[in-house]
A and B are shown apart, each in its own frame.
Chain A
């Protein structure tokens, strides 16, 4: 099983839709989880951390399911500007973060 797995997409959704991505991880000892956003030909940027109890930042909600070893990102009321690749990131103890290959989202007018 790969360390971090994501559906590559693309997810094509209309403006205003709600879309959710899941990401599974293999190391049950992982303690830190993040979602990054990467625009085409740009660097990844931290979108939000994922906390055990789940957390929300405006239209974005992140959740963690330790029992099933997955994290999720929910985007409500999608905007055209949300079009990007979303990277799931997990730590594995005292070593560098592990990045998923990303899920591509296209929001269509």
Chain B
């Protein structure tokens, strides 16, 4: 069974802080993704990675960066947190074949005050 672990279930930070969200998977999946989910807007892709040290912008990368130094870990970084980044953040993984489904972590509910 795929296990995708996000570092925090709930997180509260202040405006202007640098925020790190961590995601670790144990299934040796090549692909990893970061989404945010807001009411009425559905899942929106922030960044994704198909390999170590590789990253691609998703639909809403502004204000975010990512790091993939090891295959099993994909970090999302909010360079200078703002209140409009308050959201549910979801990490997902999948096997290298693009036809494979994605498996999600439990999510991190992030509040920026």
Binding site for A on B (CB under 8 A): 31, 33, 40-43, 45, 48, 58, 88, 90, 94, 98-107, 109
Closest to A94 in B: B98
Rounded to whole Å, the gap between the CB of B48 and the closest CB of chain A is 5
Chain A 94-109: CB-based contact to B (< 8 A → 1; otherwise 0): 1111011110000000
A-B contact count (CB 8 A): 47
Taking a contact as CB atoms under 8 Å apart, the answer to whether A43 and B106 are in contact is yes
A31 at the interface (CB under 8 A from B): yes
A42-74 contacts to B, CB under 8 A, are: 42-46, 49
Report the contact-size class of chain A (Cβ under 8 Å from the partner). 20 to 34
Taking a contact as CB atoms under 8 Å apart, the answer to whether A43 and B99 are in contact is no
Closest to A45 in B: B104
Taking a contact as CB atoms under 8 Å apart, the answer to whether B42 and A101 are in contact is yes
A97 vs B104: C-alpha distance in the bound complex, in angstroms? Answer: 13
A78 at the interface (CB under 8 A from B): no
Taking a contact as CB atoms under 8 Å apart, the answer to whether B101 and A43 are in contact is no
13 contacts between A and B (CB under 8 A): A32-B98, A32-B101, A34-B101, A42-B107, A44-B43, A45-B104, A91-B99, A94-B98, A96-B58, A97-B102, A99-B42, A99-B43, A101-B42
